[in-house]
Amino acid sequence: MDKEEIKEKLFLRLKKYCEIETTSDPNSKTYPSTKSQVYFAKILLKELRSIGVKDNFVDEYSYVFGKIKSNCKSKIKIAFIAHMDTSPAYSAKDVKVKLHKNYSGGKIDIGRGVYIDEKNCPPLKEHLGDDIVTASGNTLLGADDKAGIAIIITFVEYIIKNSSSIKYPNIRILFTPDEEIGKGVDKLDLKKLDADFGYTIDGDLKGRIENETFNADGLKIKIYGKSVHPGSAKNQMANSVRIASDIISSWPENMTPENTDGYDGFIMFDEIKGDVSYAEISGIIREHDIGKLKKMEKLLEKIIEEKREKYPLSKIEYEIFTQYRNMKIIIDKNPEVMDRLIEAVKEVGLNPIIKPVRGGTDGSRLSFMGLPTPNIFTGGYNYHGPYEWVSLDSMYKAFEVLIKLSEKWAL
């Protein structure tokens, strides 16, 4: 396969997709949240048809589906998934895509005074000689996740063209709306997809693959105080505002998001509202290990118990609710999904880096819906802002990974 030719295809697709604005909107009442995604879904459907995917459709929620029959004995059905929207955190209006060929070190001038170099973005060091794609300083790029879409479509086009020499299983293609606002699979009917296993192509630097997310719980603390005139409050008042701040400041600082990374969990209190007579605290609890998650919750409970004793005139209620769970639990039950991916990454000459996601992914929800779905790199970085960039050479590697991976599932 001619690498430069494939890179050219990847670039042209990426450019075309990024220049179509598809920002999702967390405040929208519709699904998908923005009309631009309805439009983009139709463009992608057309493109699937043009590369020879005969079985294809867009449903009423703008999920784009494509299906290709196995060209060998394999009965297995593997889905390749990417999302169509870009983050509402930054503008994607009039994205102007720039190609910086053959990165030779030093500054990459994105435009409008924005630049990246090895100091503000150390991973660039590993991309000497690569062709780097950016926007132009006033928008995000949208490689998250249009690089994923470009990789999937270029891969599918390639295997259809070369079906006499490349073996592949039943392939399923899925493009989803509204991932960035946490609703990527809200309206997804897995029966329509009809797959055994899935892979999202929505990661970052080359070689990184992800099979692990946080276990996530939410918390709510309700404080019923006792409001009396401050002039005669001695031994009479329970001030909910002060009790709330006491609870929050009693939580160990080394277990907060701003002081943790890697595998370390945290609690983030993200809202307080109320007055003397009543206050409410909300927050999120995050940890990769379910046992450690429960331990943190025990610790919070202990702190609340202490406050109940300290403020006997108040009543403090405490509630924890499940948000999502670490997809590793599901993926580990189907070890071949990761094993084959790891082999495929090695076979294209990369060192697989298995990275825990400090968040949730569509893959984690899909896994618990019954479709074990790890995540594969696209080669992009610095998402959701003007510093976003993607290496075309890394995108090419991801393309190669998909080919190797489908060959493995064809055995």
| Interaction residues for Zn ion, span 335-394 (CB under 5 A) | none
Q: Reduced to 3 DSSP states, what percent helix, strand and coil does the chain have, rounded to the nearest 5?
A: 35, 25, 40
Catalytic residue among 179, 180, 217, 400: 179
* Least gap, CB of 144 to Zn ion (angstroms): 4
Two tokens, residue 219: 């918390």
157 binds Zn ion (CB under 5 A): no
DSSP strands (E only) in 213-352: 215-224, 266-274, 278-287, 315-324
Catalytic residue among 25, 85, 388, 400: 85
* Least gap, CB of 315 to Zn ion (angstroms): 43
210 in active site? no
* Least gap, CB of 179 to Zn ion (angstroms): 6
Q: Which is nearer to Zn ion, 148 or 265 (CB)?
A: 148
The residue range among 89-97, 137-145, 336-344, 370-378 that interacts with Zn ion, by the rule CB under 5 A, is: 137-145
Using CB under 5 A, which of 21, 131, 144, 287 touches Zn ion?
Answer: 144
Q: Site map for Zn ion, 164-203, x if CB under 5 A?
A: --------------------------------------x-
* Least gap, CB of 367 to Zn ion (angstroms): 16
119: left (phi over 0), alpha (psi -120 to 50) or beta: alpha
The residue range among 53-61, 111-119, 141-149, 243-251 that interacts with Zn ion, by the rule CB under 5 A, is: 141-149
> What is the four-CA torsion angle of 368, 374, 380, 386, rounded to 10 degrees?
10
Number of residues located near Zn ion, criterion CB under 5 A: 3
179 in active site? yes
User: How far is 2 from 9, CA to CA, in rounded Å?
Assistant: 11
Q: What Rg value do the Cα atoms of the chain yield, rounded? A: 24
Residue from 216, 148, 207 nearest 179 by CA: 148
* Least gap, CB of 389 to Zn ion (angstroms): 15
Q: Site map for Zn ion, 201-230, x if CB under 5 A?
A: -x----------------------------
DSSP 174: E
Please, what is the Cα angle at 381 between 376 and 384, to 5 degrees? 105
7 within 8 A of 132, measured Cβ to Cβ: no
345 within 8 A of 206, measured Cβ to Cβ: no
145 binds Zn ion (CB under 5 A): yes
Q: Which is nearer to Zn ion, 144 or 287 (CB)?
A: 144
Three-state secondary-structure class, residue 157? helix
Q: Which residues bind Zn ion (CB under 5 A)?
A: 144-145, 202
Catalytic residues, by residue number, are 85, 179
